[in-house]
């Protein structure tokens, strides 16, 4: 982000007033949860929405008609790296309530850093993986196989 300080202030002001930070939680058939975080601002002022996208160089804009014959424009940052980076940048400028929401989002974001990798083939509901001898195991699988090793040693 090549944002100037004055622009960060402007972006923070708009998001404080009109924006939201939220977590989407997708759930796969095997129970693996893969949350994602989003920053969204909805307004009827297209020029403000365009400016948000231009200044940050992030996100994209969608629009829909609302009953009052106006058009609502939504700027959304859904790219995880972008959303997290912008949340961290804005954090010190936001109100307490929004800071709380950002902390919640960033905690979720950190918990799914391995989201680009496939979930545990055994379907365990965890995002924590252990790498050992070139093998990748989820923490639950790892615990189970450690228990099996102990059992084998005891009886064979
Ligand atoms: Zn597993």
Query: Average pLDDT of the chain?
Result: 84
Written as one string, the DSSP assignment of 21-61 is EEEEEEE-TTS-EEEEEEEEEEES-HHHHHHHHHHH---EE
CATH number of the domain to which 44 belongs: 3.10.28.10
- Check if the beta carbon of residue 141 is closer than 8 Å to that of residue 129: no
Interacting residues of 76 by C-beta distance below 8 A, sequence separation 6+: 38, 39, 40, 59, 60, 61, 62
Q: Which two tokens stand for residue 22?
A: 């939220």
Q: Is residue 5 over pLDDT 90?
A: no
75 and 58 in one domain? yes
Task: Measure 142 CA to ligand 1 centroid, in angstroms.
Answer: 7
Q: Are residues 74 and 129 in the same domain?
A: no
Q: How far is the CA of 36 from the centre of ligand 1 (A)?
A: 21
Q: 140 and 111: one domain?
A: no
3-state class of 134 per DSSP? Answer: coil
CA of 143 to the centre of ligand 1 (A): 9
Q: How many domains does the chain have?
A: 2
CA 122–ligand 1 middle distance (angstroms):
5
- Ligand 1 centroid to Cα of residue 139, in Å, is 6
- Per the rule left: phi > 0, alpha: psi between -120 and 50, beta: everything else, 31 is left
What per-residue confidence (pLDDT) applies to 154? 61
As a whole number of angstroms, the distance between CA 59 and CA 42 comes to 13
Residues 95, 152 share a domain:
no
Q: How far is the CA of 155 from the centre of ligand 1 (A)?
A: 25
Band (26; pLDDT cuts 50, 70, 90):
low
Per-residue pLDDT tens over the stretch 28-54? 555 556 678 899 999 999 999 999 999
pLDDT on residue 48 = 97
Both 105 and 128 in one domain: the answer is: no
Q: Tokens for 57, please give them.
A: 């160089």
Domain hosting residue 146, numbered range: 117-156
**Residue range 122-150, pLDDT digits in tens:** 888 777 777 766 667 788 888 888 777 76
Count CB atoms within 10 A of the CB of residue 76.
17
Do 135 and 109 lie in a common domain? Answer: no
Ligand 1 centroid to Cα of residue 127, in Å, is 10
Residue 125 CA, ligand 1 centroid: distance in Å: 8
CA of 89 to the centre of ligand 1 (A): 35
Q: Are residues 14 and 43 in the same domain?
A: yes
């Amino acid at each position: 982000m090549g944002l100037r300080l004055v622009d960060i202030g402007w972006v923070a002001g708009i998001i404080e007033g009109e924006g939201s930070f939220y977590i989407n939680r997708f759930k796969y058939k095997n129970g693996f949860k893969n949350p994602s975080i989003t920053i969204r601002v909805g307004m009827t002022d297209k020029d403000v929405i365009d400016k948000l996208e231009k200044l940050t160089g992030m996100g994209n804009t969608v629009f829909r008609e609302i009953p009052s014959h106006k058009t609502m424009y939504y700027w959304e940052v859904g790219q995880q790296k972008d959303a997290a980076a912008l949340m961290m940048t804005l954090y010190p400028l936001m109100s307490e309530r929004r800071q709380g929401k950002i902390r919640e989002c960033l905690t979720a974001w950190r918990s799914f850093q391995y989201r680009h990798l496939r979930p545990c083939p055994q379907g365990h509901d965890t995002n924590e993986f252990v790498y050992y001898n070139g093998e990748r195991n989820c923490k639950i699988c790892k615990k189970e196989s450690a228990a099996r090793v102990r059992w084998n040693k005891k009886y064979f």
